[in-house]
């Protein structure tokens, strides 16, 4: 009988594929349940099953009906399916995060309310639904504000607005959308919050233990595209402790366990929570953590959900940085040049493109802008950050712009 870990959908690239590989490395059959298996052309599942993943009951029935395999764990790397996976795990008496806690964390509004109730620092915010008097409700806030859907991932739909007209316009645009970027029906709820200052970091948690802190780099406003990460973040001991402590307090307030990716800003030694994600990080953060410390976040999380206790002891003390190549205009990828020069930059570990020549590319103002990356590994984050950025600047990406009739 095969020992299996079931993934309810997945990220289509990056962390999704790497988590499937982690399960296989640990000796488990990786089984991907997907409503549309065709979207996973880059997946690494050993077994792919076409199933209506919008139906919690169908997933539970499929897992219970298996005679040739035993399901040891159920999870997902996708923000949109982590709650479903947690519910299935509960129904099968398997280890996993509390599904009610995951549901609360996934709602940025509910999350904000609970964190505020626990006296944790968060931006001032307003929750909006269709029919609300938008202008009246957002009047107490101070500009600039950040407008975002209450349910989302990868900075999709998140925008900084410096005046009330653009803020209201974006609220109306978000509320008019019935589905997200994956075609999944989404609640018509929007959060408007005051923008907070400070540098942005993320605190990576697995098996309910803080592994480390990542420095995050964002692209130009009004969007919040993550253009790079450095691990470990270069911080004073007191600043790092402030971030770690805040993350653990947030997880306690939300009753979350297992894995989390807590985003926070740090200013004058005080940490303010941007949001808590009830899952591991995307953006290849688990990969740079592994390269820098030897800790396999993805493998450790798989071990946790199957009931094992992962060894989270670092095996190396290096640093790693990633910088993303972005689509700057809509069109067709025509060429990528400069690889030979870029890869010769000190500390460069990997240069990878996600798109091939001939593929369509377009800036969307979110994670979909990323069409490739450069990873540097070295003795310190200051070195790897400089090297990754230098190598990225040497890549020349040619895009044939779309013709407008």
State both tokens at 266: 């740090």
Instruction: Answer yes or no: is pLDDT of 71 > 80.
Output: yes
Whether a cis peptide bond, with omega within 30° of 0, leads into 222 is yes
Q: Which two tokens stand for residue 335?
A: 């060429």
290 lies in a domain? yes
**How would residue 17 be classed by pLDDT, with cut points 50, 70 and 90?**
confident
Q: What is the CATH number of the domain that holds 349?
A: 3.90.1170
* Residues spanned by the domain of 141: 124-194
**Total length of the chain:** 405
Please check whether residues 307 and 207 belong to one and the same domain: yes
Q: What is the dihedral of CA 101, 102, 108, 114, to 10 degrees?
A: 10
- Same-domain status, 240 and 345: no
In the chain, % of residues over pLDDT 70: 98
Contact by Cβ (8 Å): 92, 307: no
Query: How many distinct structural domains can be found in the chain?
Result: 4
Each residue's pLDDT tens digit, 132-179 = 999 999 999 999 999 999 999 889 999 999 999 999 999 999 999 988
pLDDT at 404 > cutoff 70 = no
CATH number at residue 275: 3.30.470.20
What's the pTM? 0.94
231 and 179 housed in the same domain: no
Residue 106 has pLDDT above 60, yes or no: yes
The answer, yes or no, to whether residue 323 has pLDDT greater than 60, is yes
Of 368, 373, 371, 318, nearest to 342 (Cα)?
Answer: 373
- 102 within domain boundaries: no
- Whether residues 9 and 84 share a domain: the answer is yes
pLDDT at 46: 87
Which tokens sit at 316? 């190396």
Q: What is the CATH number of the domain that holds 23?
A: 3.40.50.20
């Amino acid at each position: 009988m095969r020992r299996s870990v079931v993934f309810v959908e997945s990220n289509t690239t990056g962390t999704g594929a790497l988590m499937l590989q982690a399960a296989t490395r640990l000796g488990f059959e990786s089984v991907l349940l997907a409503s549309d298996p065709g979207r996973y052309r880059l997946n690494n599942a050993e077994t792919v099953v076409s199933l209506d993943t919008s139906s919690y009951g169908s997933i539970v029935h499929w897992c219970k009906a298996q005679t040739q395999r035993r399901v040891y764990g159920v999870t997902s790397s996708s923000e949109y399916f982590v709650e479903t996976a947690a519910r299935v795990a509960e129904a099968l008496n398997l280890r996993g995060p509390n599904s009610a806690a995951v549901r609360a964390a996934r709602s940025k509004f509910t999350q904000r309310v609970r964190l505020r109730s626990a006296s944790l620092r968060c931006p001032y915010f307003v929750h909006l639904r269709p029919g609300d008097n938008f202008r009246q409700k957002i009047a107490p806030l101070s500009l600039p504000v950040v407008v975002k859907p209450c349910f989302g991932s990868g900075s999709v739909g998140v925008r900084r607005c410096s005046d009330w007209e653009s803020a209201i316009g974006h609220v109306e645009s978000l509320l008019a959308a019935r589905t997200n970027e994956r075609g999944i029906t989404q609640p018509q709820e929007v959060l408007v919050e005051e923008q907070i200052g400070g540098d942005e970091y993320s605190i990576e948690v697995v098996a309910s233990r803080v592994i480390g802190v990542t420095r995050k780099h964002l692209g130009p406003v009004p969007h919040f595209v993550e253009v790079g990460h450095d691990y470990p973040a270069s911080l004073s001991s007191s600043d790092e402790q402030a971030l770690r402590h805040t993350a653990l307090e947030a997880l306690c307030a939300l009753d979350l366990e297992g894995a989390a990716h807590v985003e926070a800003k740090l200013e004058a030694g005080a940490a303010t929570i941007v949001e808590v994600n009830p899952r591991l990080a995307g953006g290849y953060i688990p990969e740079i953590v592994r390269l820098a410390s030897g800790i396999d976040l993805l493998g450790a999380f798989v071990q946790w959900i199957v009931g094992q206790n992962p060894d989270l002891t670092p095996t190396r003390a290096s640093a790693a940085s990633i910088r993303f190549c972005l689509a700057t205009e809509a069109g067709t990828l025509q060429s990528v040049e400069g690889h030979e020069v870029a890869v010769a930059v000190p500390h460069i570990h990997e240069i990878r493109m996600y798109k091939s020549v001939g593929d369509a590319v377009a800036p969307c103002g979110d994670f979909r802008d990323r069409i490739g990356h450069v990873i540097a590994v070295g003795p310190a984050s200051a070195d790897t950050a400089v090297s990754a950025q230098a190598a990225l600047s040497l890549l020349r990406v040619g895009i044939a712009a779309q013709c407008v009739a």
